[in-house]
Amino acid sequence: MILEGKRLVITGVITKDSIAWHVASRALEEGASIVLTSFGRARRLTERAAGRLSSDVDVLELDVNRVEDLSALTDSLRDRWGAVDGALHAIAFAPEDALGGRFMTAPAESAAAAFQTSAFSFKALAASLSPLMGSGSSLVGLDFDASVAWPVYDWMGVAKAALESVSRYLARDLGPHGVRVNLVSAGPLGTVAARGIPGFEGLASLWQSQAPLGWDVEDPGPVADTICFLLSDYARGISGEIVHVDGGFHAVGAPTQG
């Protein structure tokens, strides 16, 4: 029960296949109290997914790009719990014309949309929650290795590079208040969002052939467990870190020879 007594905000749940849903499920098993966030047409899907968790879980309104929603979230959580112990940022978006091999033709407004929703939003969420977070609190974001250029990922890859930088600056500014900030760089998983990226299957196949530990694109468990660890007190000395949960793929330059 490594999260017993923790009050956590989980963003990014759309369906039961979402990585964030598995984090929510695992966090409940580990003793946490949680709320989910969603907005617009996706909220009904989120509420349906919440109904498949082991406990009743509320879904709060949050479009992370709306200042009004962020302010309302702070007020709602203050009324509900008085304080927040941790949050998962599992929010990313890039317009269709910024993905799938269209790096050179993507317009500036599409690149800006990818940055705002996928990277700046981590700062926006942190600023909303930090007044409720005390020493020992933890923020975790979902990443995809931005140290290299990937096929088809294009401006989302650039946005993830920005997310990694945002995380470091958040760790710098929130650390004196006892708040930890880390990212989990996950291998590709078969979520609805990932499968919407043109060429995802080809990208995912690289992990299956090259990761030293192997990689199952249908198993989000290792990623969810690591996020719960980072939200727990067991990770109390870790901040500004990017933890790779990818079967070791990031550490090798070529497939292992059998």
* Three-state DSSP state, 226: helix
The mean predicted confidence, pLDDT, of the chain is 94
- The per-residue pLDDT for range 3-20, each reduced to its tens digit, is 999 999 999 999 999 999
Helix residue ranges, H only, 131-185: 154-174
Residue 212's pLDDT is what? Answer: 93
Residue 255 lies in a domain: no
Q: How far apart are CA 78 and CA 91, in angstroms?
A: 22
pLDDT band at 203 (very low <50, low <70, confident <90, very high): confident
Residue 2 lies in a domain: no
* Residue 134 belongs to domain spanning: 7-247
Residue 230's pLDDT is what? Answer: 98
- The per-residue pLDDT for range 36-92, each reduced to its tens digit, is 999 999 999 999 999 999 999 999 999 999 999 999 999 999 999 999 999 999 999
Which residues participate in catalysis according to the annotation? 153, 160
User: Percentage of the chain surpassing pLDDT 90?
Assistant: 86
Residue 258 lies in a domain: no
- As a 3-state breakdown, the chain gives helix, strand, coil percent values, each rounded to 5, of 45, 15, 40
**CATH, residue 162:** 3.40.50.720
Q: Are 122 and 140 in contact (CB under 8 A)?
A: no
Identity of the amino acid at 74:
T
- Per-residue HEC secondary structure of 46-107 comes to HHHHHCCCCCCCCEEECCCCCHHHHHHHHHHHHHHCCCCCEEEECCCCCCHHHCCCCCCCCC
Residue 1's pLDDT is what? Answer: 94
Residue 1 lies in a domain: no
Query: Is the predicted pLDDT of residue 258 greater than 60, yes or no?
Result: no
Identity of the amino acid at 48:
R
Terminal C-alpha separation, the chain: 40
Residue 197's pLDDT is what? Answer: 67
Q: How far apart are CA 157 and CA 148, in angstroms?
A: 9
Q: Are 23 and 228 in contact (CB under 8 A)?
A: yes
Residue 257 lies in a domain: no
Residue 256 lies in a domain: no
Q: How far apart are CA 88 and CA 6, in angstroms?
A: 13
| Residues contacting 198, CB < 8 A, separation 6+ | 99, 100, 101, 152
Residue 255's pLDDT is what? Answer: 66
* Three-state DSSP state, 222: helix
Confirm whether pTM is higher than 0.85: yes
Residue 254 lies in a domain: no
Query: Is the predicted pLDDT of residue 202 greater than 90, yes or no?
Result: no
pLDDT band at 151 (very low <50, low <70, confident <90, very high): confident
Residue 145's pLDDT is what? Answer: 93
Residue 253 lies in a domain: no
Query: Is the predicted pLDDT of residue 201 greater than 90, yes or no?
Result: no
Higher pLDDT, 255 or 105: 105
Token pair for 20: 């964030």
Residue count of the chain: 258
Domain count, the chain: 1
Residue 209's pLDDT is what? Answer: 85
pLDDT band at 207 (very low <50, low <70, confident <90, very high): confident
- The per-residue pLDDT for range 154-163, each reduced to its tens digit, is 999 999 999 9
Residue 190's pLDDT is what? Answer: 77
Residue 244's pLDDT is what? Answer: 98
Residue 26's pLDDT is what? Answer: 98
